[in-house]
Structure 1
Amino acid sequence: MKPRYLISMLLWTTAAVAAAPPSAPRPATTASSAARADTSYIDAHGTAHVTRVVPVPKTVSAEAQAMLAGRLSDASSNDSIAQQREATDAWQAGAAKVLLKRYPVTVTSTRIADVPVRVVTPPTMPESHRGYVLMNVHGGGFVVDSGSLTESIPLAHTLKVRVVSVLYPLSPEHPFPAALDAAVRVYATLLKTYRADHIVIYGSSAGAVLTGEIAVALKQRHLPQPAALGVFSGFGDFSRAGDSMALFGLNGLSGPLQPHRSGVPLIPEYVGKTDPRDPLLSPLFADLHGLPPTLFITSTRDLLLSGTTLLERAFRRDGVPTRLVVFEALPHTFWNNPNLPESREALATMATFFRTHLRLDRR
């Protein structure tokens, strides 16, 4: 089985943050590099390759400008999901090696509530921090693990708090609500050891979507909410594609140029037979009153910019204390690139928000 459009774009942009794929025989047709002469052409198969010119802005760091200037192909991936998983695992292993040099931690594997997890522990942890934990639900389009290490290592080291990253069952083998149920089981088990107000749940991309779903599920199941949530480049509506998804695709900022078909749910492999407007699947349609303070982070070239901001507004309308941070010009989950000053700023923003709501600064 080959990954569909949104999955392809999510995986494309995540990997592209760290490294560009090999260049094609002809010039790549993305808008990531500086304005240039028209290199449009029609290939031997009759496909038109149209040059789009969105220049690299000078409003970001030199490191970000260099990343954005890379030429990245619009071509759709022909890799199977198995191949995508193999490639993503290799990418994350390499990224983790880089991160561990900068943010030393210990990573162990175990199971909680019969769900595989990674436990990321800082080398030094104040005694007063031992009663706190962050629960990460990783990104990866619901089909791969593109963040259980990269999303957990920096925060565990920075906050000096243990992180439990949930390796939830992946689609298409396990459609909704398998991942959600697994994550809720892990959280419910953590509650036997940690107070709810000593826990934070967060995730990027697919993990950001799951974070919203988990909060709604906890409310429906009458389980206590955590101290805070982190929704980083996500969305809360599987029934409709946001404006940024189409806009950024047309401008070469989101990978394969394929329009989302109206009437087809986003990521159907994950949605399965569930109504895309089910409030447990799509929190945009849920009653969000009583959810904990939530940090939303996105960026102006994030294909999920619309999804993130729409969900933040829904949270805010229902009285949830929110903070929305939008970074200039950067792509989907740019914080996976540890070399960007903006990534370090995003990490500091996450750490400060979580520290404040866990009240670690008072311990």
Structure 2
Amino acid sequence: MKSERSVGIDCLRAISIIWVLLYHFVPLQIFNRGTFGVLLFFIISGYCIAFSVETSQSAWHFYAKRLGRLLPALIVCGLLTTLFKNVMPDLVEPGRGVTWFDYVYTLISLPTLNVLRVDHHLPDGAYWSLQIEFQFYLFCFLMMALGLKQRLLALLCVVTIFRTLTTSTDFYTSNDFFPFFIAGMSVAALVRGRSREAIIGIAVAFSVELYHLNFNVKQPSVAIEMYRSLLLWSGTAAVYLAARYDHVLLRSLRAAAVPLAFIGVISYPLYLLHQDIGNMILHWAHIGRDYNSALFVRAVVLPGFLAAMAWLVFALVERPAIKPLTALLANPLAWVRRSQPSAAGSRYQAAAPSGDVARQEPVG
């Protein structure tokens, strides 16, 4: 476990998810930009994906790793959310109901960008960011499939600039979030010693975001404003410092860093579970957002309960399922051969390559 994760990056993940939780559950003005926590996630994702691309043996191996990383928790958390909503529909906010078809199709639509164009509802409103993530992953997959792996960051910059300049400022797209992925990938290049590539990438990311700001580009998911640009700049610096000085953070701030990093470890299932289930719990307890006497419940008790649920998902499903599922998706025939009784003695050795890859890259 220790060799697979960066304490600094996990601490930033924790800050991101805590930021989002406080935004959704604590009615204080200071937390009214909680969606910026998602933007920090995007920078972190860009950083981690850069390493995942480098260590992938093929385009499909890269995408198999992404599916293996995201699907286990998504399947379970989406199932829980859909179950709760159907068992207790009176607690669901208007317009946020979901059917079992919606749940099942979400597992298909997210990795395929809804190529079938089927109308459906996501199990939880927070899943909108997964739609953005998968668009980024598919871009990486396509560039790798075309043999352009070594030019991935440059191509992402070119495509982002082109789409930005050729899209109406009144027409919002996922491209509006790509500067955050570019910034994260640029930090990875900087850590790898590719300074020129990193500087160009960061310059493009910052310039595109300033273009968005200057021309009042519309983006309803996360409004484009000066604070968003500041988040891009400060988040990029934070990811660099977390990656570069990870060992210093662990040594000097161990008492604070280790518990915070634990929240980062369970941040993905916590993000998937928190919004609609959390609001259903508040509704069940008759706690409104303007009920100040319940501030402790909203800020501490409820997030703590959701974190416990997320830890169970991580410990029982996500952690044990990631590598086997990745191996299955990456090479189904080899996985079946390993599963035969005659190959039982060689299972661990056969699975070692995917484990070695995981230890060489930050967990995304």
TM-score normalized by the length of structure 2: 0.30
Structure with bigger strand share is 1
Q: Using CA pairs below 8 Å that are at least 6 residues apart, which structure has the higher relative contact order?
A: 2
TM-score normalized by the length of structure 1: 0.30
Structure with bigger helix share is 2
